[in-house]
Homo-oligomer: A and B are copies of this chain.
């Protein structure tokens, strides 16, 4: 199959390199402004007007012009494979509709899970089983930070700086540490697993930027480990809850064994039970390999990751409750039914709450940036 590659950044270079070793995939064109070669063009029309191009791979990232290129490629009857979670979480409904109209593929396995073939497997599992819950540790940067704080006792700023110097964190780390990257991935997984396209603003999302060594210490002394977890659950009546938040997991839980920048993605089905996938959630080679897996799977006739009945939806967190570890500035008013007395007080009030509605916890803490909270999931 002759393909075009949009963007020759880290992932794009990886895709180009691996494709050289595959007998059935030929990168005929690369869209890129920065380099020159016979196979490089800076004009999307060159690609669109080449009848030999059957499939377009997008690895540029960002919303624009990725969205315009995706629309053009699909409208022209080309299959489209992308690793761009921002693009798919924002325009997944529309691009899937366009792809279905044109009868071409729209796959984005590397956009959630990086090198882990999570969405590809979830797509297949969903066709056989009823998925009841899904989620995981979907961001390597935050896991690297939390793991280093936990195992080395370092503080947040020092570990973040170290992660930045290693290339594990962006210079502007907010998308990772605020949980937005994880949230986008949860949007993709929920669409595949539950047939609902959620919007970012509808998913209660809290990151780890406010975590302090004292939070880590509290976790440790209680046999718990802090992880940033995404989670969506479908109740018996079909409602789907979804949130992204720091979570205190048992030190023997699989999440606790996820170290450094490794990712952990899981789903649970009525037949399959709990199925988990662990691997590199980012990085050039793993992500590029997963992009090429999607390309191969287009050749094998695979077309869409969501079902025809997948529609825009809003998570229903009405019945989602959780016991929380909560640390707020001393004197912060806390609803009486959440908890009676702080378990520690000083500069910070620390609470272990009763079961509290997830949405309410997120909403109340939205303005208290220095607060840290984490759902407690004991084994």
Contacts and interface: CB of A to CB of B under 8 A. Distances in A.
Interface of A is mostly: mixed
Interface in A239-292: 252-254, 256-257, 259, 269-280, 283, 285-286, 288-289, 292
Interface in A102-156: 115-117, 121, 124-125, 127-129
Contact of A18 (B117, B128, B280, B283): B128
A50 to B, nearest CB: 25
Nearest to A274: B279
Contacts of A257: 252-254, 256-257
A100 interface: no
B276 A277 contact: yes
Interface string A287-306: 01100110011001110000
A276 B275 contact: no
A275 B279 contact: yes
B293 A128 contact: yes
B271 A288 contact: yes
A279 B266 CA distance: 10
A280 B253 CA distance: 16
A22 interface: yes
A49 B17 CA distance: 50
B289 A271 contact: yes
B276 A279 contact: yes
Contacts of A18: 128-129, 271
A129 B256 CA distance: 29
A278 B300 contact: no
A359 B300 CA distance: 42
A279 B257 CA distance: 15
Q: How many chain copies does the complex carry?
A: 2
Contact of A279 (B273, B288, B302): B273
A286 B273 contact: yes
Contacts of A128: 18, 22, 289, 292-293, 296
B253 A269 contact: no
Contacts of A14: 271
Contacts of A269: 289
A225 to B, nearest CB: 10
Nearest to A14: B271
A286 B129 CA distance: 10
Interface in A296-354: 296-297, 300-302
A275 B273 contact: no
Nearest to A124: B293
Given A128-B289, A128-B292, 15 more contacts: A115-B273, A116-B275, A117-B121, A117-B275, A124-B297, A128-B293, A254-B254, A271-B289, A274-B279, A275-B280, A276-B277, A276-B278, A276-B279, A278-B278, A300-B302
